[in-house]
Amino acid sequence: MNRNQEIDSIIEALQQFFPVKNKPYPLHEPLFAGNEWEYLKECLNTNWVSSAGPFVDQFEQHLITYTGIKHAVAVVNGTAALHICLLLAGVEPGDEVLIPSLTFVATANAVRYCGAVPHFVDNERTTLGLDPYKLGDYLKEITEVKVRGCFNKQTGRRIKALLPMHTFGHPVDIEPLEQLSIQYQLALVEDAAESLGSYYKGRHTGSWGMAAAVSFNGNKVITTGGGGAILTNDPKMAQMAKHLTTTAKLPHRWAFEHDQVGYNYRLPNINAALGCAQMEQIEERIEQKRNLANQYSTAFKQIKAVQWFAEPASARSNYWLNVLLLDNSFETRRDEILDALHNHGYLARPAWRLLHSLKPYLHCPRSDLTVAEQLERQIITLPSTPVQGGSHE
C-alpha cells in the first residue's frame, strides 16, 4: 500500500463511524439528553440564575459523590480553578512551577496569573503526560533542596509546585510524581481539566494532589456551558477556595466586608443546573465514549501509517479525545492528513502547539523536550462524540 492509500485508509476507517457526506463532524460536541431543559426552566421560574442558588450546591455534591474526593468548589471555568489551586498551594510571584510543554495554554496562563514562571518539562509516550523518571533525573541535576524549599541552581528561583496534566483524559503516571513532590518539597496540583471519569490505579484523577482543577467547557465529557471546579480532600483548603472565589467577602446579612483580594469566580446557578442534569448521565456517557474508543481501536489496527493510542496499563480513561499517533515515516505529512480529513468533514486536530514555542513563554526555563516535540508532530485527535457514529447512532 502506498502513502496516499494509507491516507485513504484513515478516511475509510472514519467513514464507518461518520458516514453522512458533506456533514461536518466536530472534535467533540455537547450532548443534552436528560433534565437540562427542566432544570434551566426552574432557574428562570425562580429567578435563581446568578452565583448563588440550590443547583450550585447540588452540582458540587454530584462531583463529590462521583469522584470520591471530599470537597468540590464550582467556578466559572477550568482556568480559574487552576489559578485558585496554585494560590492555595502557596505559589508566589517569582516562583517556578513545573508543567508539561504539551498541554493547553491555560496550564501556563494560570501559572502566570500568580506572577510565577512556567518551567517546561518533557512528556512520555505511554501516557502522553509528564515523564516522572526523566523529571527525576532532571531535578537531581538542576535543583538544590534547602530549608525554605526546592531551588533551581540555574535561575536561583524557588520551584514551588509540580502541575501534571492528564492529557486528552488519559491519566498521567502520577504515583511516582507524587513521590517526587515529597522528595523535592513541591506542592502537587493536578490539571484534571480533561479527565472527569478517568482513574489511575482505581482512584479518580484529581485525588492525588493537594488540589485539582476540572473543566466543564462545552467540549468536555459533561458541560455547564463554561465552568470548572476545584477538587480537594483538605477541608481548610476547600473553605479557602470558596472564600477566594466569592470575592473574599465575609458573611453578613448586608455589609460588604472583604478581608483579602478575592476573585469573582463562582459558577452561576443556571450553569450549575446544566451540570446537574449532565452529571445524572455521566456513567452512561463514559461507557459510550469507551465503546467508541474500542471500535476505533479495531478500525485502525491494520493501518500501518498510524497507531491508535490506548489508555495506559495502570489507568481507566474517559477517552475524552481519541488519539492517533502517526508513524515516524508519516509525521512530516501531518498537515496533509489533517487537510484531507477536513475536506471529508472530519474536523480532526493536531495537538496543541508546544507552550515553550509560544511568544509569551519563549524565555521560560525548560528541560530537554525531545519526546514532546515528537508527539507534537505525530498526534492527531479524532471526532470523539460517542453518539455521532457507527452503532451509537
Q: Does 235 have pLDDT greater than 60? A: yes
Percentage of the residues of the chain whose pLDDT score is greater than 90: 93
CA pair distance 138, 367, nearest whole angstrom: 7
Q: Does 28 have pLDDT greater than 60? A: yes
Q: Does 392 have pLDDT greater than 70? A: no
> What is the model's pTM?
0.95
**CB within 8 A of 260, min separation 6: which ones?**
244, 248
Q: Does 387 have pLDDT greater than 90? A: no
- Model pLDDT for residues 357-373, shown as the tens digit of each residue: 999 999 999 999 999 99
Domains of the chain: 3-30+282-392 (3.90.1150.10), 36-279 (3.40.640.10)
Give residue 51's pLDDT band: very low, low, confident or very high (50, 70, 90): confident
CA pair distance 180, 215, nearest whole angstrom: 26
Q: Does 278 have pLDDT greater than 80? A: yes
Give residue 2's pLDDT band: very low, low, confident or very high (50, 70, 90): low
Mean pLDDT of 11-15: 93
227: left (phi over 0), alpha (psi -120 to 50) or beta: left
Mean pLDDT of 85-105: 98
Give residue 1's pLDDT band: very low, low, confident or very high (50, 70, 90): low
Mean pLDDT of 211-217: 98
Q: Average per-residue pLDDT in the chain?
A: 95
Cell numbers placing 317: 480513561
**CB within 8 A of 217, min separation 6: which ones?**
77, 78, 223, 226, 227
CA pair distance 342, 345, nearest whole angstrom: 5
Q: Does 30 have pLDDT greater than 50? A: yes
Mean pLDDT of 139-153: 97
- Model pLDDT for residues 217-230, shown as the tens digit of each residue: 999 999 999 999 99
- Model pLDDT for residues 165-186, shown as the tens digit of each residue: 999 999 999 999 999 999 999 9
Identify the pLDDT of residue 389: 40
Percentage of the residues of the chain whose pLDDT score is greater than 70: 97
Identify the pLDDT of residue 191: 98
Mean pLDDT of 23-40: 94
Identify the pLDDT of residue 391: 38
